[in-house]
């Protein structure tokens, strides 16, 4: 995967998870791929982050969700895909019509991958016609690690060192990854735990 050639549209169901978001955006920052999203994806992400924070009894949930969105936009100024609405009309029937905009944004940005946890909502046979695949965050992160271990491990270490509420040892980071379903990715990092 090279950033100038490989593009991934990341779905809101991935971006709303703080650790998945941090990992994927850290890998994008290291230029392992180009990250893309739409305003609709960011709207869904912001709402989902707010809901998660409310469940955690955060008093400033809406403000924190807004700041998370702003930070993503600031860090990846070229990530937002626009003018894709008409492409949604070309797409056939979907298991979840609410995901039509994700596929349209992927088509518009000439994405290779949609990173999502709702794989059932993105039929492989339909996406294949556009040269797009759908992968879970775990599979996508594991692929990035596999394709360029040194660069990926370095990016993940930088991410881990930025975490300060609370700080995380490499071992705790791997446990946290496993806890949220990133088992394949954690397994790939385990042999290099001292480097992260």
In this prediction, residue 48 carries a pLDDT of: 97
In this prediction, residue 29 carries a pLDDT of: 96
Q: pLDDT tens-digit profile of 49-97? A: 999 999 999 999 999 999 999 999 999 999 999 998 888 777 777 767 7
In this prediction, residue 188 carries a pLDDT of: 93
30 shares its domain with 47: yes
**Alpha carbon distances (Å) from 51 to 11, 59, 150:** 17, 12, 36
Task: Check if the beta carbon of residue 193 is closer than 8 Å to that of residue 171.
Answer: yes
98 shares its domain with 31: yes
> Mean of the pLDDT values across residues 11-32?
97
**Alpha carbon distances (Å) from 37 to 34, 40, 181:** 10, 8, 22
Residue 90 lies in a domain: yes
* pLDDT level of residue 4 (50, 70, 90 thresholds): low
Given a cut of 80, whether residue 25 has pLDDT beyond it is yes
Residue 1 lies in a domain: no
30 shares its domain with 58: yes
0.75 exceeded by pTM: yes
Residue 128 lies in a domain: yes
> Which token pair is 87?
């492409």
In this prediction, residue 5 carries a pLDDT of: 67
> Mean of the pLDDT values across residues 9-36?
97
In this prediction, residue 164 carries a pLDDT of: 82
**Alpha carbon distances (Å) from 63 to 67, 73, 89, 154, 155:** 6, 15, 35, 31, 28
98 shares its domain with 164: no
99 shares its domain with 186: no
**Alpha carbon distances (Å) from 173 to 106, 138, 163:** 30, 14, 10
13 shares its domain with 64: yes
> Which token pair is 21?
């978001």
Quote the domain boundaries for residue 185. Answer: 142-195
């Amino acid at each position: 995967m090279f950033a100038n050639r490989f593009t991934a549209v990341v779905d809101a169901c991935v971006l709303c998870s703080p650790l998945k978001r941090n990992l994927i955006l850290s890998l994008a920052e290291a230029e392992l791929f180009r990250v893309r999203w739409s305003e609709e994806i960011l709207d869904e992400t912001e709402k989902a982050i707010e809901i998660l924070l409310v469940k955690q009894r955060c008093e400033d949930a809406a403000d924190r969700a807004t700041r998370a969105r702003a930070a993503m936009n600031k860090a990846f100024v070229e990530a937002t895909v626009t003018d894709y609405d008409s492409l949604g009309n070309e797409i056939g029937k979907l298991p979840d019509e609410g995901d039509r905009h994700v596929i349209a944004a992927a088509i518009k940005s000439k994405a290779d991958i949609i990173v999502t946890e709702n794989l059932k909502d993105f039929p492989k046979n339909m996406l294949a016609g556009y040269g797009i695949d759908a992968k879970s965050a775990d599979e996508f992160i594991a692929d990035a690690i596999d394709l360029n271990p040194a660069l990926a491990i370095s990016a993940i270490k930088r991410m881990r060192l930025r975490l300060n509420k609370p700080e995380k040892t490499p071992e705790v980071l791997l446990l946290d990854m496993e806890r949220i379903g990133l088992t394949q990715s954690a397994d790939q990092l385990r042999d290099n735990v001292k480097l992260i």
